[in-house]
Every structure is written in C-alpha cells, then in structure tokens.
Amino acid sequence: MRSLLLVGIGGGAGSMLRYGLSMLMTKLEIHTTWATFVVNAFGCLVMGLLIALFARSFNHELRLLLVVGFCGGFTTFSTFSADTFSLMAGGDYWMAGLYVFGTVFIGFLALVLGLKIVA
C-alpha cells in the first residue's frame, strides 16, 4: 500500500507540473505540439538523471516516488524512452525497433479508431 501511495503522490506532482508547463507555454504563445515536445524531452532528461543516480545509490521508495510516479505522471514518453534504452542496452535491437515503431504506429491507429468509434 505504501508503494502505491508513493507512486500516486509522485504521479500527481508530475501531472500537475506537466499541466503547469503546458499552460505557461500557451501563455508564451508556444504551439501545443512544441509544448508537448519540450515536456517529453525534459521528462526524458530527468528520468535519465534519476536512473543514473539510483544506479549508484538504490533507494526503492525514492525510485518509486520520483522515477515511476513523478516521471511517469510528467510524461509517459520518458518511460517509453527508458524501456527502449533497456532493450538496446540488453542487445535486443530488433525488439527495441519493433517497440518504438509499434508504440508510435499502433498508438496512432488506436487513437484514430477511438475517434471513429465515437464519431
């Protein structure tokens, strides 16, 4: 139960920060697409930093709060990038490529399908 709470707290904070940054960029008249791009890139940077830090000094609860919760709530793209890196680091380049292509292509098709179902 404690783990779930830590992920929820981190995820809520990450989601609120993502929304706040998106609103800031909108006020600065930055197109939504670029706001999403910046959030995704920043989330990937933060996740990379955190994964590297936790590789040196592993704290399971802090990892749940910050990596799984905060970064996951801030942008799932950071998790997607970390998963892709893991596959590549393990030498599974074919699966990494399939994962990237499948995530983007199938995700887009699923979105279009959802739109058509409701329309």
What are the residue boundaries of the structural domains of the chain, listed by start?
2-118
List pLDDT tens digits, range 25-44: 889 988 777 888 888 888 88
The answer to whether the beta carbons of residues 45 and 10 sit under 8 Å apart is no
List pLDDT tens digits, range 53-109: 888 888 889 999 999 999 999 987 888 898 999 999 999 999 999 999 999 999 899
Element (H or E) spanning 25, and its range? helix 2-27
**Which pLDDT value is given to residue 30?**
83
Q: Which DSSP state fits 59? A: -
**Which pLDDT value is given to residue 78?**
83
Q: Which amino acid is at 98?
A: L
**Which pLDDT value is given to residue 23?**
87
Rg (CA), the chain: 16
